[in-house]
Structure 1
Amino acid sequence: MANWVQITPNFPPVVCGVGDYSAGLAAALGNLGTGVTTLVANENPISQPGRSLHGARSSRALCDALRDTGARVAIVHFSGYGYAPRGLCHWLVEGLRGWKATQTDARIITIFHEVYATGPIWRTSFWTSHPQRRIARALCEITDRGFVSSGVGSDQLRRIGASLSCDVLAVFSNVGEPAEVTPLSRRSARAVVFGGRGQRAEVYHAIARNPQKTAQLLSNLQIDRLLDIGPRMPLPERIGECPVDALGTLPAEEVSRILVDCRLGLLHYPMDRMTKSGIAAAYFSHGLLTANTGTAGGAASNLKEGVQYSSLDRLVAHCPDLQSVADAGHAWYQQHGVAAAAEIIRNSIA
């Protein structure tokens, strides 16, 4: 079995989308005959060969840890804020550079979960954006193969003058991929809002701005209850005539069991970034009708509103064949699940 190493900010059971992604990818690569040792920047890995850097944020510590694994291929899960305050993770790039300099056949695969942050002038992200861009550009210079999770990431890399060409690799579901899904009509009359506090809050804010449209959609699908899954937060008691049940944070297996029996999944996400939404991936993989209450951004290149998912406006005003939309989302996911991602990544290093 080939031995690779991956660097990730966190790892389960720590709640972290990038950590969940790295855990799923390591398992899928293992199924393909590529063993993966995990180096975790901030926490000890659980049930995974590897070690923790315990937040040392030291280029020397990283270089030594990489060399100790004996691996010749390193996967870097890049999201600057996961590695350093304000996303200024110079130590990560310098450690990788040092390791590569001592291994003549070393190869680096970088998955850009984020590239750099932006913001208005009164936000810290405005002032740290330029050093974050320099870090991303430096990482590109030592990377042999790169991936981004959306076309927006590709655009950001082009804007900073990165020479690295990165393919879009959609994120996969972190809560499982059921072998079979049932039609919407045979599921419980439930809708679900799933994710972190901020993501779910955006859904409820959008619902509050469009109460009549939301009520109409829930009525069209004969929804009689809305399930809320994620960290505790203030929630409305009802959406229209539907009571809201707060289920809290649940294990991935339990989330999967609930999703596969729900009809409708609600999220709020920029449309041009839908391929990087783990929530959307979870809904698609479980065969739900996915409704995006967000309207910002243009269409993603291979994931289109009105085809694999739908806006709130379209679902209410145009009454599309809801099962066809759910089926299209599920079919799209079959080409973008964890096994497909692992194979693409493995084959990217010839």
Structure 2
Amino acid sequence: MVDLVQIAPNYPPIVCGVGDHAAQMVPEFERLGAQLYTVVANEHPISEAGKSLNGVRSAQALTDALHGSGAEAVIAHFSGYGYARNGLCVWLVEGLNSWKDERPQGRIVTIFHEVYATGPIWRRSFWTSRPQRRIARDLARISDRCFVSSAVGAAQLHKIGAPGVCEVLPVFSNVGEPAEVAPLFDRPPQAVVFGGRGQRRRVYEALKRHPRQTEKLLSDLKIDRILDIGPDLQVADRIARRPVEALGVLPADRVSETLLASRLGLLDYPGNRLTKSGILAAYLAHGVFAFNLGDDAALAGGADAPPHNAGFVSLDSIAAQGPTTAAAGHAWYRKHGVAVVARRLFEAAGTGTLPTTGAHRAPDSDA
């Protein structure tokens, strides 16, 4: 019998941010003295103890898998589109509800990586938003504890009538958490653009729209080249006279090495959703100065917003405050890393007593 089960839409080696998040939970729970079994909704195979529902995805199959594990608590990683076309994963909620009916002492802990989609009337997301809301609300109602990756997601849950308070739990870096990072100007003078095609494309479009500001940004941090990490994307050979080197998709350890040797990390992300950005988490975990280029980068991010520079309006402070901001970002991340998240989920699942000594204890500042 295992201690806990987690449910995820995908799992490595499948490329999926939520799957990566779930995979990193496994060794952290082992450090806490618990075995974490994984039920994956989609692809075969999974590399850890677990089961795939690929080809047999249904409420009954999920209930059977949960019962078969013998676990008394379930951690559900929720992102509707990962579980069903158009995000309409009714089977997930029905399966969890059935398991809870048959095991009333069991606990369900849900992490809302997404809540529901919205869009203009000509987009499918407009027409599926209402049933997506109902699914998210029903899942929140059968959960004993809920976490969400951003303040925006918490507001969405409140709006649809989810019970109680859903605590914001920022995502952590999927490409490692080095114990030590070098000061900003002790690093090689390079910048990184990291992520999927859409995210990186928006970064390059923003740089192209603002050539004068881009030159100042790179000059103030003395950047002499830009490294592109991610799936193939057609980009300019040079930006603001700096060469752009495409590194392609790299394993996590290579991404980590590159970030540790870089000064500047560029992204384009809504400012009020930054706590759900795995790219920003990776930058902060590695002590990189994070610069958000999005048009809405300065949107309020809540009381615990991660330190970074938002938009080109913040350019005047970069040369003087860049190292301080990078250090503050790394310190902020230390309070939200994978070990901290694992402890919070372990506590929420209520399956045992946390160890308090040795390697299992989080840093005092993370408590």
Normalising by structure 2, what TM-score? 0.92
Shift of residue 46 of structure 1? Answer: 3.2
Determine if contact 1:271/1:295 at 8 Å carries over to the other structure.
Answer: no
Q: Distance in 1 between matches of 2:58 and 2:349?
A: 27
Specify the code of the residue in structure 2 equivalent to 1:223: I
Residue 71 to residue 324, structure 1, CA distance change in 2 (3 Å):
same
1:311 maps to: 310
Residue 333 to residue 302, structure 1, CA distance change in 2 (3 Å):
farther
Q: Distance in 1 between matches of 2:256 and 2:99?
A: 39
| Identical positions, percent | 55
2:125 maps to: 125
Tell me, what secondary structure is at the counterpart of 1:120? coil
Q: Distance in 2 between matches of 1:73 and 1:32?
A: 15
1:75 maps to: 75
Shift of residue 143 of structure 1? Answer: 0.3
1:300 maps to: 301
Specify the code of the residue in structure 2 equivalent to 1:301: G
Q: Distance in 2 between matches of 1:11 and 1:24?
A: 10
Q: Distance in 2 between matches of 1:84 and 1:164?
A: 27
2:257 maps to: 257
Deviation string 1:150-177 (CA, Å, 9 cap, x unpaired) is: 0001110111111142100000000000
Alignment of 1:283 onto 2:286: no
2:14 maps to: 14
Residue 303 to residue 267, structure 1, CA distance change in 2 (3 Å):
farther
Specify the code of the residue in structure 1 equivalent to 2:325: V
Q: Distance in 2 between matches of 1:53 and 1:2?
A: 18
Shift of residue 2 of structure 1? Answer: 6.3
2:156 maps to: 156
Specify the code of the residue in structure 1 equivalent to 2:300: A
Identify the range of structure 1 (174-183 vs 53-62) with the bigger mean alpha-carbon deviation.
53-62
Specify the code of the residue in structure 1 equivalent to 2:317: H
Q: Distance in 2 between matches of 1:19 and 1:129?
A: 24
Tell me, what secondary structure is at the counterpart of 2:35? strand
Determine if contact 2:108/2:349 at 8 Å carries over to the other structure.
Answer: no
1:43 maps to: 43
Q: Map 1:194-343 onto structure 2 (within 5 A).
A: 194-296=194-296, 298-304=299-305, 308-319=307-318, 320-343=320-343
Residue 238 to residue 55, structure 1, CA distance change in 2 (3 Å):
farther
Normalising by structure 1, what TM-score? 0.97
| Paired positions, count | 348
Deviation string 1:210-244 (CA, Å, 9 cap, x unpaired) is: 11101111111111110000000111111101111
Residue 303 to residue 214, structure 1, CA distance change in 2 (3 Å):
farther
1:134 maps to: 134
Determine if contact 1:194/1:229 at 8 Å carries over to the other structure.
Answer: yes
2:144 maps to: 144
Deviation string 1:159-206 (CA, Å, 9 cap, x unpaired) is: 111114210000000000001100112111110000000111111111
Tell me, what secondary structure is at the counterpart of 2:3? strand
Q: Distance in 1 between matches of 2:295 and 2:248?
A: 27
Tell me, what secondary structure is at the counterpart of 2:235? coil
Shift of residue 316 of structure 1? Answer: 2.0
Specify the code of the residue in structure 1 equivalent to 2:315: V
Aligned residues: CA RMSD: 1.4
Determine if contact 1:141/1:164 at 8 Å carries over to the other structure.
Answer: no
Determine if contact 1:217/1:315 at 8 Å carries over to the other structure.
Answer: no
2:361 maps to: none
Shift of residue 47 of structure 1? Answer: 2.7
Deviation string 1:95-128 (CA, Å, 9 cap, x unpaired) is: 0011111112110000000000000000000000
Shift of residue 44 of structure 1? Answer: 2.5
Residue 334 to residue 113, structure 1, CA distance change in 2 (3 Å):
same
Shift of residue 92 of structure 1? Answer: 0.4
Q: Which runs of 5+ in 1 are unaligned?
A: none
Tell me, what secondary structure is at the counterpart of 1:199? helix
Specify the code of the residue in structure 2 equivalent to 1:39: V
Shift of residue 294 of structure 1? Answer: 1.3
Determine if contact 2:12/2:19 at 8 Å carries over to the other structure.
Answer: yes
2:85 maps to: 85
Identify the range of structure 1 (153-162 vs 119-128) with the bigger mean alpha-carbon deviation.
153-162
Tell me, what secondary structure is at the counterpart of 2:7? strand
Tell me, what secondary structure is at the counterpart of 1:108? strand
Q: Distance in 2 between matches of 1:302 and 1:171?
A: 16
